[in-house]
Structure 1
C-alpha cells in the first residue's frame, strides 16, 4: 500500500497524538514533505518525540526517511494531471462535470493504489486454495455483502461450489460445516466487523483456510485470517470509506477469480460454453427490435 493510503487507513487505529501527526500530513502532504521535524511537531500540536514514534509506527528509521517517502509519492502524484481533483469536496451547487471529475479521479487513483500494494504471492495462494476447495464461503455485511455476492456469482459460473452470506447466523452455520481444504473469505473495509471476525474464526477452528479482504492489515479480522488481501480506500463527499472501498475490493477479488480460472482452464471454458448456450434463447438477435 502506498504511504499516504496506509496513513489514511491506519490513522483510525492510532493513539490521539499520532493521529494528529497523520492528519497534519494528510491535510497537505506536499507541504509536510518540506517541513522540518520541529515544524511538523508545531503544525500537528505534538512534539518531536511524537513525530519519531509516528515514523517508527510506520516502519521508518527516522523522520528523514518519512520525508523522502512522502516527497517521492507526491512526485508520482504530480505527474498525473487528473489527480488535481482528488480530495476536493463536492458541494450542493457543483456541476455534474465536477462531480464526474472528482468521483472518477478518486476511483482511478484508488484502483491504482490497490494494484500497487497488492501482494501477488498471497493472491496466488488464495487462488490455489479456491481452485482446490470443496466449498468456498464468502461473508460480508452492508456494502461488503454486495462484493461477496458478486464473487459468489463469478465462482459459481466456473463450477466452484460457493456460497455468500450476509446474515451472521447463516454464515456461522456454514462456517461450522467447513473443513480441511475448504475456504472462508471475510470482507470488511475496516477489518473490525464483529460478525466477519467470528465467521473466519469459526471456519478456521474446523480447519478451513481463512482469507481476509480488508483495508487494514493490522485489524482484528486480519489477525484471525491465515491469508490477508489488502485494499485501498479514498473518501469523497457522500461516499464514506466503506462505500469507497467497493471498487478496490472488487479489483482484488477479480484478480483472484481470473487466477482461479487460469488454474481450472478446461473446466472453466466448458462451463462458459454450457452457460452461454443455456441463456442464448433469451437474447435478441441483432435484427430484432
Structure 2
C-alpha cells in the first residue's frame, strides 16, 4: 500500500532511539525525496552512517534498506508529517473542526489499511476458525472495541466471550488453553493490567492476536500475531480516539473473513439471532 512506509515509521516512532528519530524526522519532512535516495545519499543528507540507516530500516519493520526504500518510493506526493498531524485551532469554525475530525478518522483508516498483509490475516482467521473459544480482552477505552468484537462474533457459530472487569478477564484467561484464541486490544500496548492478562494467557499457551498502535510496545512484542491500528494525531492526547475507528475496522475485517469462510453456519446463526431479536419488537 502507498503509505505503508510512513505508517510503519509512525507506529514505531515513540520507541525509536534519538538517532533513529532524527532519520525518521528527515523522512517525514520530505518522503518523496528520501525515497529516491540511495542509502549512502540518505545517510549523508541526515548526517549519520549508512549502518545507522540500515539499522533504522530494520527498526521500523523492514528486513533491509532496499525493501524499505522500495516501499517509501510509492508514497504519494503531498504526504508528509505536517499533513499527518493536523490540529484543530481555537478559531476554526465548527464545520472546520468537524471536517478535521472526519479527516483524522479517514487518515487513521488509510494508514491502518496500508499495513495489512494477506498472509497475516489468513493466519489470524485460521486460528479463530479452529479455536474452541474466542475471548476478547480490552480495558479502558479499548473495552469499546473489545465489546464490539464480541458483539460481532456472537453472530457466528464460534463460542465468544468478553467481560469488562479486569479480575474477571484474568480468571477468564486462566481457564483458557492452546485450543482457544484471544484477541487483546490496547492502544498503547503498555497497560499493566492488560499485560498481566497476557502473561496468564502465555502461561496457558493461548494464541494471542494483538491490536495496538505501537509496533515496539510490550503487547506487540509478546503477542503471537499483531495488527497495528494507526491514527494521525491531531494533538498529543487525541490519537487514541481516532485509533478506535481503525480498531473497529480491523475487528470488522476479521469478522467478515471468518463469517465468509463459515458461510452457511454463520447465516444460520444470524437468522436465529434476528428471529430472537424480532420477537422482542412485536
Interval containing the TM-score (normalised by the shorter chain)? 0.7 to 0.9
* More RCO (CA 8 Å, sep 6+): 2
8 Å contact from structure 1 (residues 184, 200) kept in 2: no
SS in 1 for 2:135: strand
8 Å contact from structure 1 (residues 9, 233) kept in 2: no
Is structure 2 residue 248 aligned with structure 1 residue 250? yes
Q: Where do residues 221-236 of structure 1 align in structure 2 (5 Å cutoff)?
A: 221-236=219-234
2:25 to 4, 23, 35: 23
1:170 to 168, 171, 183: 168
Deviation string, structure 1 residues 184-222 (Cα, Å, up to 9, x no partner): 111122322222222223113213221111233333212
Structure 1 vs Structure 2 CA RMSD: 3.0
Deviation string, structure 1 residues 29-48 (Cα, Å, up to 9, x no partner): 4576689647743xxxxx32
Distance 1:138 1:34, change over 3 A: same
Deviation string, structure 1 residues 35-73 (Cα, Å, up to 9, x no partner): 9647743xxxxx323x751443223766x9867754531
Relative to the length of structure 1, the TM-score reads 0.80
User: 1:21: how far off?
Assistant: 3.1
Q: Distance in 2 between matches of 1:261 and 1:66?
A: 34
SS in 2 for 1:174: helix
Distance 1:252 1:210, change over 3 A: same
Relative to the length of structure 2, the TM-score reads 0.82
8 Å contact from structure 1 (residues 138, 148) kept in 2: yes
Is structure 2 residue 48 aligned with structure 1 residue 48? yes
Q: Gaps (5+ residues) in structure 1?
A: 42-46, 79-83, 285-289
What is aligned with 2:74? 72
Deviation string, structure 1 residues 233-285 (Cα, Å, up to 9, x no partner): 2111486222221111111111111111122222211121122222225558x
What is aligned with 1:287? none
What is aligned with 1:81? none
Q: Gaps (5+ residues) in structure 2?
A: none
Q: Where do residues 259-270 of structure 1 align in structure 2 (5 Å cutoff)?
A: 259-270=257-268
Q: Distance in 1 between matches of 2:71 and 2:132?
A: 44
Q: Distance in 1 between matches of 2:238 and 2:28?
A: 17
Q: Where do residues 31-46 of structure 1 align in structure 2 (5 Å cutoff)?
A: 37=42, 40-41=45-46
8 Å contact from structure 1 (residues 85, 101) kept in 2: no
Q: Distance in 2 between matches of 1:240 and 1:52?
A: 35
Q: Distance in 2 between matches of 1:151 and 1:68?
A: 35
Q: Which has the larger radius of gyration?
A: 1
